[in-house]
Chain A
Amino acid sequence: MTTAGGPSSSSLADVIDTILDKGLVIDAYVRVSLVGIELLTIDARVVVASVDTYLRFAEAANRLAIGSEPKGLSDLVSDVKGSGSTKSKTKGVLEGVGETLGELLGGSSGGEREPAPRRRQK
């Protein structure tokens, strides 16, 4: 097996997205019961456009304008490259990339002991 490292570290949200309602349903095969499942709060599993959502989007747009005229994308890009005032934004970009690469490489959980099963040598 040539896989390097463990799986990317999934957040709880990722895990919920991934495992809920998925997998073989064994009670369709056999007589078993599902243990009473007391699920933690899951908000907005399916995105529904709502008043709240719209107001939130409007607020996000409104924040763009604070302290300046709305800018075109090209302005934004040159801003990120140039001035110091957008440092936090630039940093965010770099962190984003780092995170992506880290997860791509599956490195984030590499140090953990993998408690999962291994395969017996044939």
Chain B
Amino acid sequence: MTSPEDTDDTEGAAASVIYVYAIVPADVQPEEDATGIHDAPIEIVTHGDIAALVSEIDPDHRLGTSADLQAHARILDGTSHVAPVLPLRFGAVVSDRDAVINELLAEHHDEFASALDELEGFAQYMIKGRYVEESIVREIVDESPKATALLESIRGQPEELTRDARMALGEIIGHALEAKRETDTRITLDALSPLTDTVTVREPTHDEDAVQIAILLEVDRQDALEQTVGELAARWDNRVTMRILGPMAPYDFVVRPKPEG
């Protein structure tokens, strides 16, 4: 995915390029000491009603350390507390500040401005649930006579003699986990439905993920979200560990605006 056309260092002394974090309303103002990727000061480039949060970056400096990712997320999520944010994908740079205006803000001013209007007062929250391995595996074994029998058959036996039984048992557990994930995701979606209908279910990124749901919610309703997820956490105590992340930038809800004819 990288485009290594970094051979343009012949054109003058372009020592640094501009990393773009997000599009925000023009009245957003960075804290004086706010820093972003590689500790560069955060600047704002405004055009009309909208602006871009940017910082200088050395084009030769490779991006992608955990600190880089976290700096990107920190700027976007921090901003989402106070203003609507259109997040840019990690790693986006333009050549200079003029290019931010000429190539990004000016050209898409109205689309961005109306998207920001729509987002006013809203932020993304992630609702994450992770199965407690011991509990969920026990639940699955208890529900499946076949799994129980397989477990009996491997208990106390050397691993190399029971590989087939282990595979069979693991497969049962794997499939059962998938089914449980589906059920528990649906239960969570039902619980969230009074709060918002702007919801994205993410694919699991861990074997024991129970729930990974992104929602767009009015930040004023965060209390209600906490209550809803708290009830699920109590219901699934020692079975699923529930977490809420956010408010954060609406990563899962920005799509390229359709060009209007």
Query: Which residues of A are in contact with B by a Cβ distance under 8 Å?
Result: 1-3, 6-8, 10, 12-40, 44-47, 49, 51, 53-65, 70-73, 76, 80, 89, 92-93, 96-97, 99-101, 103-105, 114-120, 122
Contact = CB atoms under 8 A, between A and B. Distances in A.
A3 B91 contact: no
B189 interface: no
26 contacts: A1-B81, A7-B246, A17-B202, A21-B89, A26-B20, A35-B17, A35-B57, A35-B91, A37-B62, A40-B69, A55-B167, A56-B207, A58-B173, A61-B173, A73-B139, A104-B226, A115-B42, A116-B30, A116-B31, A116-B79, A117-B28, A117-B31, A117-B34, A117-B53, A118-B30, A118-B31
B206 to A, nearest CB: 7
Nearest to A35: B63
Nearest to B252: A22
Contacts of A23: 87-90, 92, 249, 251, 254
Given A19-B90, A119-B28, A53 B35 contact: no
Nearest to B238: A93
Interface residues of B, number: 115
Nearest to A8: B245
B interface, over-half SS: mixed
Given A32-B103, A117-B28, A96 B241 contact: yes
B251 to A, nearest CB: 4
A44 B207 CA distance: 9
B170 A24 contact: no
B104 interface: yes
A86 B224 CA distance: 34
B245 A64 contact: no
B255 to A, nearest CB: 9
Contact of A62 (B2, B72, B86, B155): B155
Nearest to A103: B243
A32 B99 CA distance: 9
A8 B243 contact: yes
